[in-house]
Amino acid sequence: MASFNKVRRFARSSLQISFLLALVFILFIAKNSDPSAVRDWSKLSAVKALKKQDIINYLQWSNSSSCRLSNDFGGAMALFGIDGQKAVCLDTEVRPIKGKCLVYSFGVNNEWSFEDTMDEYGCEVYAFDPSMEQSDHDRGDRIHFYRYGLGSEKVLRKIKGQQGWRLLPLSDFYKAMEKRHGSNRIIDYLKIDIESDEWAALPQILQSGMMDRVRQLGVEIHLPPKGNVDEFHRLIGILRSLENYGMIRFNSKLNPFSEQWMETLQSESYAAYELAWYNNRLRRNHSSYYYG
């Protein structure tokens, strides 16, 4: 009987130790896991309640499961990684249809890899950049360049040592380009890489109703290294307005060249992110992909 009691006490002690070890392991995993991978940030409502780490986690949230097949188009290898690539969702319901797709690209900076790749894929590409020392021209049969920039209103921005930059809202570009690509076309991919001007352009695109014509959107967002948390909340609010409208994020990448001390976040972080969404309102059914 004494031996049996010893065995029972030993078993009970072993069970307690195993339970404690399992608890420690669970706590360790929870502490060291990526919160952005656990939380469903698509349900974020109280933007002003976001703390500094929450802001970083929200921006880094890729929501990759929302797109089964996402590929990077373009990009150039540099010292710290690849820059200029844009994620494109190739799921049947939202992918650009080869030979029928339309791309608007704002911000080229003489690096044509994305535009050339979309051309090779079979899309007609309209590229815009007022900073390049090039006049309006066709870069081939399907790539058309214009020396204009995207903004929230019609304006001539004075640039020291350069010609003024003419900025227009997306709706104005679309009206002008309809003469070339036809009316009532869906923009299958809208690329925006315009060095912080995206914060003025994106609300205007929503307010004007032009987002109803955009099936996929890829934006490089730029964050101020200095400022207060309220400003970050305002910028996050703009992104949330896209997602509340119906844009489904499917990719997020850090820009490897933007790492720096972010005073507002009190951390070594990144000032630029490549984000990509598709428009849930413009999802096709399978038959429309193959026949229309």
Q: Which of 80-84, 224-228, 288-292 has the highest mean pLDDT?
A: 224-228
Number of H helices, E strands in the chain: 8, 17
Q: Does 197 score more than 50 pLDDT?
A: yes
pLDDT attached to residue 22: 47
> Do residues 249 and 187 make contact, with C-beta atoms less than 8 angstroms apart?
no
Q: How many CB atoms lie within 10 A of CB 214?
A: 21
Which phi and psi angles does 111 have, rounded to 5°?
-120, 100
Confidence band, pLDDT 50/70/90 cuts, at residue 28: very low
The more confident residue out of 269 and 145 is 145
CA atoms within 13 A on the CB side of 186: 20
For 244, the token pair is 């509340």
233-247: pLDDT as tens digits: 999 999 999 999 999
155-180: pLDDT as tens digits: 999 987 778 899 999 999 999 999 99
pLDDT attached to residue 25: 41
Q: Does 23 score more than 50 pLDDT?
A: no
CA atoms within 13 A on the CB side of 193: 25
The more confident residue out of 266 and 252 is 252
Q: pTM, whole model, 2 decimals?
A: 0.85
Which of 88, 92, 59, 84 has its CA nearest to residue 71? 88
Across the chain, what does the average pLDDT equal? 87
Looking at the chain, the whole-number percentage of residues with pLDDT higher than 70 is 85
pLDDT attached to residue 27: 45
Average confidence (pLDDT) over 187-215: 98
pLDDT attached to residue 42: 85
The more confident residue out of 159 and 248 is 248
